Amino acid sequence: MNGTSVRKVAIVGGARIPFCRSNTLYAQRSNQDMLTAAFKAVVDKYQLHGEVLGEVQAGAVLKHSRDFNLCREAALSSGLAAETPAADVQMACGTGLQAAIGIANKIALGQIDVGMAGGVDTASDAPIGVNEKLRQQLLKVNRARTTQQKAMAAVGLLPKWFSMPSIPGVQERRTKMSMGEHCELMVKEWKIAREDQDQLAYLSHKNAAKAYDEGFYKDLVVPYSGAERDNNLRPDTTLEKLASLGPAFDKKSGRGTLTAGNSTPLTDGASAVLLASEDWAKARGMKVLAYLTGAQTAGVDFVNKKEGLLMAPAYAVPRMLARAGIKLQDFDFYEIHEAFAGQVLCTLKAWNDDKFCKERVGLPGKLGEIDRSKLNIKGSSVALGHPFAATGGRILATLAKIIDGNGGGRGLVSICAAGGLGVTAILER
């Protein structure tokens, strides 16, 4: 560490490839292909060719075993100097933001002057493993020393095992329930109406479409593999169209409210963001869009205490606000990741609930409401898509540009994640 002072962490900017629904335009693209493209976009944007950065951190949720050094391999192909170190990070849907926090902490402590953070995911090229019984038997064959021993082990291989692949899912290991099924429990607990979920989804599409039409995303989204904008975006959607969709997760009770229209689809894509010390940015004539001034992670017990799987941000944000000495209303912009429209509404309702804030969070009273006109003003995950690890970088680059375009201000970032996790941050200038 250089001295004892904590340095300010600047967000210089970021870039991403368009997010595309899985099994569409990026069906033949790998995590490494897409992450490399996002890194190259930042390198080109800020003329970092041949530069040695302090560190690069990024990750993916759905990874092949060959991607054990994913971030390093992508960095080596990005145009940065090969001497730039890189590390993989993984925290479910919070991966991209967690990577940025890791880089930011090193900058703040003086360990590095500049770094890049990002994330990527593809459900199109998801790793498919062999049947577990087949895997164990193949390992037994591999451990055998002699030809005879290998032949004897091979006899134990049953033909049916070869037709029973292990396909990755989005189920929670401990509950065997999907994220959508968990969110159905949440919206029932918090009494979130279907109409309110559809309304939030509608605004996500309308805000994103308007942002594209106004050119907001022109320098944030780079064309890739035939895509020029996020292909999940539906500018022509209506509340009537959204209302016509049936339940996607709770199809039997007659009370399911999560649909394909108010939930994020499986998405492929990648993003990256450049962070630096003020001195590094100033020396290169680079404008500081915003500063990353606070961060907080949290976890909830969604198994034994039956807390909502995606409610961790409801706990993380109050702790972060207390440390910063500010209120929930002291923000000009709110970027709350829309895993599901219902998840966002559950979180907002919890913050405005006296009992929740007192009994579960330990606050003297509720945090209160936010000005909804400041929420996800350029669209969010329901409209733009959600490649798990790439969402954090998308939000950081978007919010930093919003703050700069506003001439300053303060923004809240809130991302829920599988495993009962949440990652939050504060940006301001």
Per the CATH hierarchy, to which homologous superfamily does domain 179-216+293-428 belong? Thiolase/Chalcone synthase (3.40.47.10)
**Locus of tokens 């899912």:** 169
- Could you tell me the CA-to-CA distances from 141 to 65, 130, 159, 176, 379 in Å, in that order? 20, 15, 15, 31, 53
Res. 166: pLDDT tops 80: no
pLDDT value of residue 109? 97
Q: Is the pLDDT of residue 295 over 60?
A: yes
| Mean pLDDT confidence for 328-353 | 98
Q: What is the C-alpha end-to-end distance of the chain, expressed in Å?
A: 25
> What is d(CA 58, CA 73) in angstroms, rounded to the nearest whole number?
11
Among 182, 205, 337, 386, the one annotated catalytic: 386
| Cα 408 to Cα 405: distance, rounded to the nearest angstrom | 7
Name the β-bridge partners of 93: 91
From CA 110, how far away is CA 57, in angstroms rounded? 17
pLDDT confidence of residue 152? 79
DSSP helix/strand/coil, 429:
coil
The residue whose two tokens read 């994020």 is 264
φ and ψ of 390, to 5 deg: -90, -15
Q: What's the confidence (pLDDT) of residue 313?
A: 98
- Checking if the pLDDT of 1 tops 60, the result is no
Q: What is the mean pLDDT of residues 85-106?
A: 98
Mean per-residue pLDDT for 344-359?
98
Q: Give me the phi and psi of 209, to 5 degrees please.
A: -60, -40
User: Tell me, what's the pLDDT at 116?
Assistant: 98
**In the predicted structure, residue 153 carries a pLDDT above the cut 90:** no
Cα 240 to its chain centre, rounded Å, is 29
| Alpha-carbon gap, residue 388 to 92, rounded angstroms | 7
pLDDT over 90 percentage in the chain: 88
CB 31 within 8 A of CB 121: yes
pLDDT beyond 60 at 89: yes
Q: Is 386 a residue of the active site?
A: yes
pLDDT of amino acid 142: 87
User: 402: pLDDT confidence band, cut at 50, 70 and 90?
Assistant: very high
What's the average model confidence in pLDDT over 176-188? 97
List pLDDT tens digits, range 105-143. 999 999 999 999 999 999 999 877 777 887 788 788 889
Q: What is the pLDDT of residue 208?
A: 98
- Taking the C-alpha atoms of residue 278 and residue 99, their distance in angstroms, rounded to an integer, is 20
Cα 376 versus chain centre, distance: 15
Q: Which two tokens stand for residue 393?
A: 């970088």
Of 412 and 65, the structure prediction assigns the larger pLDDT to 412
The C-alpha torsion from 196 through 199 and 203 to 209, rounded to 10°, is 140
What's the mean pLDDT when you consider all of the chain? 95
Q: Where are the domains of the chain?
A: 179-216+293-428
- Could you confirm whether 64 is annotated as catalytic? no
Can you give the pLDDT at residue 162? Answer: 67
pLDDT at 155: 77
Residue with tokens 């599901």: 340
Choice among 20, 71, 346, 416 that is catalytic: 416
Lowest-confidence region among 36-40, 118-122, 136-140, 216-220: 136-140
How many angstroms separate the CA atoms of 63 and 174, rounded? Answer: 20
Q: State how far the Cα of 146 lies from the Cα of 152, in Å rounded to an integer.
A: 10
Residue 3, pLDDT score = 52
- Nearest to 79, CA basis, from 28, 43, 129: 43
**410 sits in which H/E element:** strand 410-417
What integer pLDDT is reported at residue 135 of this predicted model? 79
What dihedral do alpha carbons 190, 321, 294, 71 form, nearest 10°? -20
The model's pTM: 0.94
pLDDT at position 130, please?
73
Write out pLDDT tens, residues 305-323: 999 999 999 999 999 999 9
419 backbone φψ class: left, alpha, beta (φ>0; ψ -120 to 50): left
pLDDT exceeding 70 applies to what percent of the chain? 97
**Selected catalytic residue, list 20, 93, 183, 357:** 93
Q: Per-residue pLDDT averaged across 11-17, rounded? A: 98
Tokens 């007192």 belong to 358
Predicted pLDDT at 194? 98
Among candidates 409, 236, 250, which has minimal Cα distance to 333?
A: 409
**Residues with Cβ within 8 Å of residue 300, at least 6 apart in sequence:** 307, 308, 309, 311, 312, 315, 420, 422
Tally the residues of the chain.
429
State the pairing for strand pair 410-417/55-59.
unpaired
CA distance 39 to 31: 12
Which is nearest to 198 in space by CA: 395, 40, 55, 340?
340
Stronger pLDDT, 43 or 161, i.e. the higher one: 43
